[in-house]
Structures are given as structure tokens and as C-alpha cells.
């Protein structure tokens, strides 16, 4: 197990390097550079040239990449081209917000999704199963911006129970925490619960049909025990992967929720970075998301191996 983790770590570093290279290449393929984007409608030949020189964008691309890589080796992520602030500081001020939102959403959505998924599999074909299935599908098919805006209109504008904006600076108490996070967490749960529910249900049903489970049922083991002790351990690989995929969405993919609730997280930082061709910011964000994704899927793989004796001792 340790050797697997070590190997994954080493490979992870390679992935990160690949990501940084890919992002760099893609950004230079994109039309326009930071100087042009920053000046926008004001761009003229002289001002663009002046800004380019002061940002160091007049150097050839490979030199800029090497310089960035050299900085990275000493732990320096560089400075944002748009704001001239250190990238580490920009990310440092927003990452806690993103992690807090992700953690709150995970804490609510994972238990709910697993419970629904497992019970739906236990009573597959029943009215409950069908209702749950219809509901999760309906919820996931509503565009995120519609769910979030509708929730704001009902709970913040009409009822005035909750805040339409999620400003972390306002949090001083548990009640405040709830007021600020309730709506974004709700909107995000709507997006990610369905995938986890459907995968859990499908994976467990698959196992319930396996001969060894049928054997257990024939031996008179109760349905709950069959699911939890026999089917679940074998189904946990795909379930853990579905959970990991859903959770990986919570860091970089929450741009719509961050925009609608004006929540200062890293997803918005990255999208702004792309729009402004702010390469150091985009690089750092992409590597951050990649690292988070790798941690999640590696954890899922390890959980899968640990829970399945056949994979543990191949």
C-alpha cells in the first residue's frame, strides 16, 4: 500500500508538470495576451507594447516558462499579471473559502447520496426506488444557474430568511454560518447528489445479482446485512470513484455558484485568470485543481483496494 501511495505521488508530480505545460501551451494558443486583455477597448499599439515590456511578456514563450518553472522550484508561484499581487497570496486568501464551501457541501451531500443510493438499491423496482430515481434525475437536469437563482428568489427575496450574497466576512455565529452557506450548499448538492446516488444504486444492484450474494440470501442473511456486509464492500470501488469525481467538481467547477452568490473562491479566480490571460494565476489554479483531483481519485483507489480482498492480494 505504501509503495502504491509513493508511486502515485511520484506520478502525481509528473501529472502536475504535464498540466502546467499543457496550460502554458494552450494559453499561448489563445488569441490575445495579458497586455491586450488588460487594456481591452483601450489597447493601442504603443500602450500594448509598453505594458508587454513591463510585464515581461516580450520574452519568447519557452524562456518565460523556464523562468516560471525556476521560480516554482524555489516555491515561488510568481505574480499575477493583472493585479501584480503574489499568486500565493491571491490563492491563499481564497482557498480557505473554497475549501469551506466544499467541505460543507460534501458533509451534507455524501451521507444523503449514499443513504438514498443504498436504500434505493435495497428496494429496487419499488415505488420508493422509482420516486427517488425520478427526483434525482429531475434535480440534476435543472441548470445550476436556474436552481441557484430560484432559491435566492424564494428564500432571500420573498421570505427574507437567508442572504442573497455569501460573504464570509459576515460570519460571526453558527446562525450566520447557516444563513451564508445554506443557499450555495443547497444549489451545489442539487448538482452533485444525482451522480453519487445513481452510481451507488447501480453498483450495489450489480453486486446483489452476483452468485455469492445470492448464496448469502439463500442462507437466510437479512437484506440490510446482505447489502452492508456482502454487496457494499465489492461495490465500493465505483462508488468511491463517483464520490471522488463529484467532489472534485466542488473546487474548480463551482464558478456559477461563486458568481451568483458573489462568493470569493478559487474557481472565479481561475476563470478571471483565463479571461485576462493571467498565466501565473491560471497555472497555479490548474495545478491546484489537478492536485486535488489526484488526491481524491487516489484516495478512491486506495479505498477500493482496501475494501476488496481480491485487489488487496492479487
Partner 1 sequence: MASNELELLGQADQARVLDAVRRGATRRDLLGMLGAGGMAAATAGGIFGAAKEAVAQTPRRGGRIRVSGTSTSTADTLDPAKQSLSTDYARCNMFYDGLTTFDGSLTPRPALAESWQQEGAKVWTFKLRRGVTFHDGKPLTAEDVVFSLNRHKDPATASRARSLAMPMTEIVATAPDEVRITLDSPNADLPVVLATFHFHIIKAGTTDFSTAIGTGAFTCREFQPGVRSIAQRNPNYWQAGKGHLDEVEFIGIPDEQARVNALLSGDVQLIAGVDPRSVRRITQAQGHGVFETKSGYYTNLVMRLDMSPASNTDFVLAMKFMFDREQMRTAILRNYGVVGNDQPIDPTNRFFFPGLPQRPFDLDRARFHFQRSGVGSTSLPVVCSPAAPNSVDMAQVMQQTGARIGMNLEVRRVPSDGYWSNHWFKHPIGFGAINPRPSADILLTLFFKSDAAWNESAWRNPQFDQLLSAARAETDEAKRRQMYADMQVMIHNESGIGIPVFQSMLDGHVSRLRGLSPIPVGNLMGFDFAKHVWLEG
Partner 2 sequence: MIRRLSPAGLLGLLILAFWVAMAVFGAAVAPHAAGRIVDMEVFLPVSADYPLGTDYLGRDMLSRVLHGTRYTVGVALGAALIASGSGLMLGMCAAVWGGMVDGAISRALDTLISIPSKMFALVVVAAFGSSVPVLILMAGIIYTPGAYRIARSLAVSVNAQDFVTVARARGEGTLYLVRAEILPNIIGPVLADFGLRFVYIVLLLAGMSFLGLGVQPPNADWGSLVRENMAGLHEAAPAVLMPAFAIASLTIGVNLAIDVLGGGRREGDGH
Query: Does residue 15 belong to the site contacting partner 2 (CB under 8 A)?
Result: yes
Question: For residues 171 and 210, which CB has a smaller minimum distance to partner 2 in the complex?
Answer: 210
Query: Does residue 86 belong to the site contacting partner 1 (CB under 8 A)?
Result: no
Question: For residues 20 and 163, which CB has a smaller minimum distance to partner 1 in the complex?
Answer: 163
Query: Does residue 95 belong to the site contacting partner 2 (CB under 8 A)?
Result: no
Q: Which one of partner 1, partner 2, none interacts with residue 231, CB within 5 to 8 A by kind?
A: none
Binders of partner 2 among residues 26 to 85 (CB under 8 A) are: 26-27, 29-31
Shortest distance in whole angstroms from residue 134 CB to partner 1: 28
Name residue 17's beta-bridge partners.
Answer: none
Total site size for partner 2, rule CB under 8 A? 68
Question: For residues 168 and 299, which CB has a smaller minimum distance to partner 2 in the complex?
Answer: 299
Interaxial angle between packed helices 266-276 and 232-252, expressed in degrees from 0 to 180 and rounded to the nearest 10: 50
* Distance between CA atoms of residues 107 and 132, nearest Å: 20
Binds partner 1 by CB under 8 A, chosen from 40, 75, 125, 211: 40
Residue with cell 518565460: 64
Query: Does residue 28 belong to the site contacting partner 1 (CB under 8 A)?
Result: no
81 and 55 Cβ atoms separated by less than 8 Å:
yes
Query: Does residue 47 belong to the site contacting partner 1 (CB under 8 A)?
Result: yes
* Distance between CA atoms of residues 250 and 265, nearest Å: 11
Residue 186 CB contacts under 8 Å (≥ 6 apart), including other chains: 147, 151
Binds partner 1 by CB under 8 A, chosen from 83, 133, 298, 307: 83
Query: Does residue 260 belong to the site contacting partner 1 (CB under 8 A)?
Result: yes
Question: For residues 179 and 198, which CB has a smaller minimum distance to partner 2 in the complex?
Answer: 198
Shortest distance in whole angstroms from residue 100 CB to partner 2: 22
Residues that bind partner 2 (CB under 8 A): 11, 14-15, 18-19, 22-23, 26-27, 29-31, 130, 133-134, 137-138, 140-146, 149-150, 153, 157, 194-195, 198-199, 201-203, 205-206, 209-211, 234, 237-238, 240-242, 244-245, 248, 252, 270-271, 274, 282, 286-287, 289-290, 293-294, 297, 300-301, 304, 308, 310-311, 314
Q: Which residues contribute to the site for partner 1 (CB under 8 A)?
A: 30-32, 35-47, 49-51, 53-54, 80, 82-83, 85, 90, 93, 145, 149, 152-153, 156-157, 160, 163-165, 167, 259-262, 264, 268-269, 272-276, 278, 281
Amino acid at each position: 500500500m505504501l509503495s502504491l501511495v509513493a508511486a502515485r505521488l511520484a506520478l502525481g508530480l509528473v501529472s502536475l508538470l504535464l498540466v502546467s505545460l499543457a496550460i502554458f501551451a494552450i494559453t499561448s494558443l489563445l488569441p490575445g495576451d495579458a497586455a491586450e486583455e488588460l487594456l481591452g477597448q483601450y489597447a493601442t499599439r504603443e500602450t500594448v507594447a509598453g505594458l508587454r515590456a513591463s510585464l515581461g511578456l516580450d520574452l519568447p514563450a519557452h524562456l518565460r516558462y523556464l523562468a516560471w518553472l525556476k521560480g516554482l522550484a524555489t516555491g515561488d508561484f510568481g505574480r499575477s499579471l493583472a493585479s501584480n499581487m503574489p499568486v500565493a497570496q491571491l490563492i491563499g486568501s481564497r482557498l480557505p473559502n473554497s475549501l469551506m464551501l466544499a467541505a460543507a457541501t460534501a458533509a451534507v451531500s455524501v451521507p444523503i447520496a449514499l443513504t438514498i443510493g443504498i436504500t434505493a438499491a435495497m428496494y429496487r423496482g419499488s415505488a420508493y426506488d422509482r420516486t427517488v430515481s425520478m427526483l434525482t434525475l429531475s434535480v440534476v437536469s435543472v441548470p445550476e444557474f436556474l436552481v441557484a437563482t430560484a432559491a435566492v428568489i424564494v428564500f432571500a427575496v420573498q421570505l427574507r430568511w437567508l442572504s442573497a450574497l455569501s460573504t464570509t466576512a459576515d460570519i460571526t455565529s453558527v446562525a450566520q454560518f447557516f444563513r451564508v452557506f445554506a443557499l450555495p450548499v443547497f444549489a451545489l448538492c442539487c448538482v452533485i447528489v444525482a451522480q453519487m446516488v445513481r452510481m451507488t444504486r447501480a453498483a450495489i444492484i450489480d453486486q446483489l445479482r452476483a452468485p455469492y450474494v445470492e448464496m448469502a440470501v439463500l442462507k437466510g442473511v437479512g437484506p440490510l446485512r446482505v447489502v452492508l456486509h456482502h454487496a457494499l464492500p465489492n461495490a465500493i470501488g465505483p462508488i468511491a470513484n463517483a464520490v471522488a469525481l463529484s467532489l472534485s467538481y466542488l473546487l474548480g467547477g463551482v464558478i456559477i455558484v461563486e458568481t451568483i452568490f458573489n462568493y470569493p473562491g478559487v474557481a472565479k479566480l481561475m476563470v478571471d485568470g483565463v479571461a485576462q490571460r493571467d498565466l501565473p494565476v491560471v497555472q497555479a489554479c490548474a495545478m491546484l485543481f489537478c492536485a486535488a483531483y489526484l488526491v481524491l481519485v487516489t484516495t478512491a483507489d486506495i479505498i477500493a483496494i482496501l475494501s476488496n480482498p481480491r485487489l488487496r492480494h492479487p
